[in-house]
Each structure stands twice: as C-alpha cells, then as structure tokens.
Amino acid sequence: MSSARCILVGLFCAVLLGGSLSHGQLTPTFYDESCPDVTSIVRGVIEAALQTDARIGASLIRLHFHDCFVNGCDGSLLLNNTATIESEKDVLGNSNSVRGFGVVDDIKTALESACPGIVSCADLLAVAAEESVSLAGGPSWSTLLGRRDGTTANRTLAGINLPGAFDTLQILKDKFSAMGLNTTDLVALSGAHTFGRGQCSTFDPRLYNFNSTGNPDPTLNSTYLTTLRGICPENGSGTGPADLDPTTPDAFDNNYYSNLQVNKGLLVTDQELFSTEGEDTIDIVNSFSSDQTAFFASFVESMIKMGNISPLTGVEGEVRLNCGRVNDEDALLYSSI
Ligand code: HEM
C-alpha cells in the first residue's frame, strides 16, 4: 500500500505500518551469508542433549519465552549476577525452575567455533525453541533472525511480567496483552505444555486443600488426582516432577488440549483455559483439540509474534561471546589476566 493512500486511511495505516516495520527488522535470511549452518548446528547440539535428557527441548523453549517476556527477546535471562547485573534467573518463576543453561552454553560454543562473534544469544534461543518443537514431532518454521543481545537484565520486571502458576485467566490475559499477544496467542502458546515437566510446588496446592476448602481442586479429574498425589505426597519435598502432558509427555502434539477437556491439565493456569465458565478460551481449546493442524498453524504464528517482542537490531546491543555475561566483562576478565 502506498504511503499516499495510507495518509487517506490514517489510523489504520499507522497501525499496519508500525506493525510491519517492527516485524520487518528480523528476517529468516539474516545469517545466510555469515553463518549459513546456524540451524543445523543448534539442532545437532539439542539432538545430542536429548539422548540423556528427554526434557531438554521443553526447557529450551521455556527459556525463549521467559527471555522475550522481560525487556523483549534480548538474551537478558541468560545473564548471571555481577556487581551491576541482578540476574533474572533469581526471580520467583525462574529460580530453581528454568533449566538448560548448560546446553545453551554448548550451543554457543558450537556456534562460536563455526562463525565467531556472529550469532546472538537471543537468536540462539529462538532457533533452539523452533528446533526443539520440530525434534519433538511438532511443526517447523522459518525463525525470524537478527536480534542482538542486551547488556542489562531486569529482575524486577521479570517478577512483574512472567505469568505465575496460580494466576487467574484474567491476569494471564493481561500479562499476554501487555506483550501484544491476544487470547488466541495465550491458548496456542500454552500448548507448549504438551511437553516438559512441572515440579510439585507449581500444582500441589490443587491436590489437598485447594483455596483453603479442605478439598482438592474440583476441576481435577479424580484418576489424575490419585496419580498426582502419588507423585506429590502431602507435605512432601515438593519437587516431583510430573509430566505437563500425561498422555504423550515428550511429544509435541495437541493432546494438551484433549487433556484439558477431561480435566487433566497439570497447572491451574492450564485447566482454567477450559474450565472458566463463559470464557472465550473454551472454544479455542476445543478447536485445537479437534484439529492438530490448526493448533500447529496458530502455534507457529504466535511463536513468531512472541519472538518479535521488542528485539534489539542493527547496532543496538551486542553479540555476546558468552551468553552468561556481557562482552565488557569479558574484556575486563581478559585484561586482568
Ligand atoms: C500461560 C502462562 C504460563 C504459565 C503460568 C506457565 C507456567 C509454567 C510452570 C509453573 C511450569 C513448571 C515450572 C517448574 O516446574 O518449576 C512451566 C513449565 C513449562 N512451560 Fe510454561 N507457563 C506458561 C506459558 C508458557 C509458554 C508461553 C511456553 C512456551 C511457549 C511455556 C513453556 C513451558 C515448558 C515447555 C515447560 C516445561 C519446561 C521443562 O520441562 O523444563 N509455558 N510453565
């Protein structure tokens, strides 16, 4: 559409052009010349890690999500504590919960060896998320690339922005909406809980004394309740873990949604997508449950949207050489040797 015509339709075009500009900054061909094998390198390291850790793909996509929800997809989650950086890893929701940093380091080492100083940690997470889904039997897509790494972390914002295991559906909607993600995105992206695990503390209040009622969560299938009580005894250590998808724990498919239809969602935030009376999320769960192709298409679209949250591009930020620390610190370390 020409800019002259855009002047005519004012607001509509402002939104359209704004959207397409911010999306236009990333491109699937970004590393075609500078690091053409980026995808296969990332895939190879994940494939090797899967041999001993069936859950690693799930852990990696979660890192991308928790990165993007705090200051955009800028690799900030990967930064460790220093005198000036308060690591996001230490916030409730990440601490003793997010995992996979060793494999991120292995991927970075492989990328640095093939194309030194080229691939950002933020892009590494985006590619690792896509490859993890694909390796688990889910869809593949062209990841948009060209993100640069931030030089700061924001622990306070992580505490505010990341969804919590006991958030109401309205709070989930609000947190996604603050990222530019709508209700369909919320339901589609929650489908990532088709693989991976949750530790007892993230769901065991549902098993015994839900909301101080003295009873379990009424939206919990009774057979499933017995299984989960076996994994997480009352007053137990609280670690579990339990499969987020009890039907096909390590496969990326649409069973997450059929589980919700029979009250087998592990987290409150999963089950409430289907069990909150009158909500628009119910129809979306039903449609993804009956049509895996529709789920995959929506999931890809929503992953691309999530991956587009406020990327740093061009000369902004840097390409970190070590994902756990900013390059300045690397320089300081080397100069003091
Ligand atoms: C809708 C809001 C969400 C909430 C409240 C939520 C919450 C959680 C919680 C509590 C866990 C278990 C953590 C633990 O055991 O310590 C978890 C695991 C996981 N989450 Fe989410 N999540 C949400 C959305 C997402 C999204 C958007 C994605 C990715 C696109 C995602 C991917 C995962 C994966 C794959 C795991 C398993 C990780 C592993 O096994 O290491 N989640 N999530």
pLDDT tens, 125-164?
999 999 999 999 999 999 999 999 999 999 999 999 999 9
User: Are 213 and 274 in the same domain?
Assistant: yes
| Closest C-alpha residue for ligand 1 atom 2 | 163
Average pLDDT, the chain: 92
Report pLDDT for 7: 32
245 in a labelled binding site: yes
Report pLDDT for 131: 99
For residues 238 and 108, give the distance between their C-alpha atoms in angstroms, rounded to a whole number. Answer: 33
Work out the number of other CB atoms within 10 angstroms of the CB of residue 195.
Answer: 28
Range of the domain at 267: 180-305
106 in a labelled binding site: no
The residue behind tokens 């972390």 is 153
Name which of 260, 185, 199 is nearest 228 in CA terms: 199
Q: What CATH number is attached to the domain comprising 204?
A: 1.10.420.10
pTM for this structure? 0.92
Over residues 10-18, the mean pLDDT reads 32
DSSP bridge partners of 145:
27
Q: What CATH number is attached to the domain comprising 56?
A: 1.10.520.10
User: Are 263 and 143 in the same domain?
Assistant: no
User: Are 222 and 241 in the same domain?
Assistant: yes
- Tell me whether residue 7 is in a domain: no
- pLDDT category at 333 given cuts 50, 70, 90 is low
- Tell me whether residue 84 is in a domain: yes
User: Are 154 and 205 in the same domain?
Assistant: no
| Closest C-alpha residue for ligand 1 atom 7 | 165
Catalytic site residues? 66
User: Are 69 and 191 in the same domain?
Assistant: no
Report pLDDT for 21: 35
User: Are 135 and 148 in the same domain?
Assistant: yes
User: Are 90 and 206 in the same domain?
Assistant: no
User: Are 198 and 222 in the same domain?
Assistant: yes
Verify whether ligand 1 is closer than 6 Å to residue 268 (CB atom): no
Look at the chain and report how many structural domains it folds into: 2
Work out the number of other CB atoms within 10 angstroms of the CB of residue 237.
Answer: 10
pLDDT tens, 221-264?
999 999 999 999 998 876 789 999 999 999 999 999 999 999 99
| Closest C-alpha residue for ligand 1 atom 25 | 190
Is the pLDDT at 302 greater than 50? The verdict is yes
CA 164 to centroid of ligand 1, rounded, Å: 9
- Tell me whether residue 326 is in a domain: yes
Is the pLDDT at 194 greater than 80? The verdict is yes
